[in-house]
Structures are given as structure tokens and as C-alpha cells.
Structure 1
Amino acid sequence: MNVLLVEDDLDLCDALSRVLLSRGFQIVCCSTGLEGLALARRRSFDALILDLSLPGIDGLDILQRLRDGDASVPVLIVTARGSVSDKVQGLEAGADDYLSKPFDVEELVARVKALIRRHHGDEDLRCGSLWLDAKTGIFYSGMRPLELSPREASLLKALLERQGKAVSKEALRESVFGPDAVESSDAVEVLVHRLRKRLTNATVELVTLRGLGYLLIDQTSMSQESGA
């Protein structure tokens, strides 16, 4: 589960990141409104944790711009503005939930999980015999669960969400490691190599497109089309 955290309190950002990472989330952090808006527009996240008092542009402005652009990512506002009017304003701007500071980190984790569950519902991602259980976050080949590392799972989810389309190494690198990570595209190649071994028995193929990136395809559909 990929979460974008937009928070200008760096100590709080670090503390929340460590807790969320320990619970299996992949976290991308930023501390300014403009950077948060750019990341939310450029990448696919399962949830957005958004402070309101941010340098550059504030959280409400970010939220309104995202909703005006038809972005449906679930948003949890986390802010010191705790009055009823503040909450109403945030929810009417398009937030899905609102949590006032100070808060218990366990409550934040529970709220983020609930937002993601409600957003995805029972809609599992599928490609051939490969599928992702939206409720548990577990990948399966048929009925057999796949044992994947968190980074392998992040890479496979990014490919599964864009199945049938080329995904660049840079986009995959950002999805797995974050935009500021020091890992090179070689790290993506290593993960792809591992994934291919994990997917040996699944009816999917992970294709390398030179100069473009990678493509996840359903072998069953390809066989049916070639035989038609």
C-alpha cells in the first residue's frame, strides 16, 4: 500500500513514516505544498495524508486542485485546526476523513487502512491467473499465495495496475523506492528478475521493452487472440 505523506513538521513526518513502514506501508514524504501536489498528480497512491498548514500552497488548495482534476485518491487531513468549521471545510473540499493533532498514531494507522479498504472495496486486480486481494494486499497465482518481499509487491502492483501498458524503469523506481531514493534503475532490473522467478507458474508474462520499460501481459488472452 503506497501512501503519500505531506507534512512540514519533519520530526512528525519521520515518526509517522517509521510507524507506517513497520505496518507494511510504502511511504513517500514531502514537506511543501507544491511538491505534494506534483507527486499526487504524477504518481498513483493508495492514500494521501495531508497537513493543512504547508509552505507554498496549503493543504486545502492541494485538495481542491486534485478533486478538480478528478483525482479519487482517499485523503486523510491531519492538522492542528480542530474546530467544527475547519472539519466541515476540509470534508466539503473533498477530504475523506479528518484527524486533529495531537492524535494517537494507532488511530491514524486504523483510519488510513479503513480509507484504503473503502476506496478499493472488493475490486481485486487481475491479470491471467495472477491477482491481488484488495482487502489483504496478498498476491495470488490461482489460489496459491505468492511470497513476495515488500519491494517485489510494490513493483508487481505498479505493473498490475498498468497491465497491457509499458511502464518505464523510472516510474517503477519511484513506485518502489520513492522519488528521492538513491537506488538506480539497476535495482529495478534486479527486482524484475526476481519477480519473473516468482511468476513462473502464473499465466502472465513480464516483457522487457527496450528503451520503454516493462509490460505485464495476460498469456491466456494472447493465446486466444493468436488462435482466433
Structure 2
Amino acid sequence: MEILVVDDNKDICLLIENILLSEGYDVESCCNPLEFGSIIKKSQPQLIITDLLMSGYDGRTLTKEIKNNPKTQNIKIMMMSAHPDAKKLSDSAGVDDFLMKPFEIDDLVNKVAALMK
């Protein structure tokens, strides 16, 4: 797996997964943010695309866990959100890129391509 999508909204997970699969990426999605850790232990992705605000979990917490662990700190993280302050919150969490919801498919694909280089 190259890319892991973590969002508590199953429709968003499937949408992003299908877009990136059609672009030739090896993608998996996780609709329960509390399960992302077990997925990463099995197969470490190059990129995680996650929502900022999720029920029961927060994208900033996910980012800190990934970036503070020497085994996972090199995984790129792209955060997404519709929250008006999301870009600032994402930057302070240490993400590698940000995608504003709703997003254009081309924006998603271009940002993923840049992060996967």
C-alpha cells in the first residue's frame, strides 16, 4: 500500500480511494480513525490523507503520533478539512500538505503526485 486514507466519513474514503486507484496508486482506506495504527503496523504507507476533525479522533493527534515515532516519521501526511481555520491548524500540527474541502479532483491528484515523488 502506498496511500492510506483516514476519514470517519465512508463516502469521502471511498471517493478518494477510487480517484487515486484510477490514477494507478495502491490505496487503502480506514473509516475508523482508531484503527489506523494497526494498519500502519502491517503495511507502512508513503502517504496518509486524513481529515482534520473526526468523531472520536483528531487529525492533529494522528499527525503527532506519526511524526513523533521514529519508525513512521517519514510518512507524508496531507490533511483535509472544510473548517475555516483548518489550514493554520494543519500547519501547526506539522502536516506536509493541506487540501480544503470541498476539493477539485485535479487538486487532490496534483498534491498526491507532488507528495509521492
TM-score normalised by structure 2 residue count: 0.88
User: CA-atom RMSD, angstroms?
Assistant: 1.6
Contact 2:52/2:90 (<8 A) preserved: no
Taking only the aligned residue pairs, the percentage that are identical comes to: 30
Matches within 5 A, 1:82-121: 82-83=84-85, 86-117=86-117
What one-letter code is carried by the residue in structure 1 that aligns with 2:115? L
Aligned length: 115
State the 1:42 CA deviation: 4.0
**Taking CA–CA contacts closer than 8 Å with sequence separation of 6 or more, which of the two structures ends up with the larger relative contact order?**
2
**1:53 aligned partner:** 53
Q: Residue deviations 1:161-220, cap 9 Å, x none? A: xxxxxxxxxxxxxxxxxxxxxxxxxxxxxxxxxxxxxxxxxxxxxxxxxxxxxxxxxxxx
State the 1:13 CA deviation: 1.5
CA distance, structure 2, for counterparts of residue 99 and residue 89 of structure 1: 12
State the 1:61 CA deviation: 0.6
Indicate how the Cα distance of structure 1 residues 55 and 38 shifts in structure 2: closer, same or farther if over 3 A, else same: farther
Matches within 5 A, 1:47-86: 47-70=47-70, 71-83=73-85, 86=86
Contact 1:47/1:75 (<8 A) preserved: yes
**2:9 aligned partner:** 9
TM-score normalised by structure 1 residue count: 0.47
CA distance, structure 1, for counterparts of residue 79 and residue 93 of structure 2: 11
State the 1:11 CA deviation: 1.5
State the 1:98 CA deviation: 0.7
Post-superposition, which runs of at least 4 consecutive aligned residues in structure 1 deviate over 4 A? none
Structure 1 gaps of 5+ residues are 118-228
**1:30 aligned partner:** 30
